[in-house]
Amino acid sequence: MDKKDTSNLNEVRNQNYQDKKMNNSQKQKKKKDNYLPWWVEFLFVQVGLPDRILIKILKTKKKAKELIKNDHKILITFLFLITLMAYFYPVIKHSKNKLDCESTAKNYITKNKKTNNIDKKELKMLSINFCYGGEEIYEIENLKN
């Protein structure tokens, strides 16, 4: 009985091996029968672009995949920093414009209005008011008279 069991086991193993071998050959045939991507079909078969461009595109694609695979932490950090800068850029630009407007308004007030009795805090307040559309500057001469 032991001999029959071992012979049956060997036959089962051989059969499993043959099945796996056939499955691998079918998978290889499927890989060989793959169709071209639509963009390759369109650009290089239908339109007729040169093959050397396709070679360069595929090499670049391969290098990009390797770069992303190897240096993904650095790329994530870089994208995070760019996103952070893009998020805060409008705030920084608004602040800069506000400061520029205040300095211009201060210069305008000191040159064109009689501001001998106005201290620095009031001058700053008037310049901020002027930048946001206030018209108190035009009433300075009226208040002193």
The per-residue pLDDT for 59 is 94
pLDDT > 90? residue 63:
yes
Q: How far is residue 80's CA from residue 43's CA, in Å, rounded to a whole number?
A: 35
Over the chain, what is the mean pLDDT? 80
Is 113 within the bounds of a domain? Answer: yes
Tokens standing for 134?
């206030």
Q: Which domain holds residue 101?
A: 72-145
Q: Who's near 102: CB < 8 A, 6+ residues apart? A: 124, 127, 128, 131
The answer to whether residue 88 is domain-embedded is: yes
Residue 62 lies in a domain: no
pLDDT reading at 144 higher than 80: no
Bigger pLDDT: 133 vs 144: 133
On whether residue 90 sits in a domain, the answer given is yes
**Position 94 in a domain:** yes
Q: How far apart are CA 114 and CA 138, in angstroms?
A: 11
Asked if the model's pLDDT at residue 42 lies above 60, the reply is: yes
Identify whether 98 is part of a domain. yes
Query: What's the number of domains the chain is made of?
Result: 1
Secondary structure letter of residue 114 according to DSSP = -
Establish if 79 belongs to a structural domain. yes
Contact by Cβ (8 Å): 36, 45:
yes
pLDDT given at position 62: 93
In this structure, is residue 7 part of a structural domain? no
HSE-CB at 89 with a 13 A cutoff on CA atoms is 7
123 within 8 A of 110, measured Cβ to Cβ: yes
Most confident of 71-75, 82-86, 117-121: 82-86
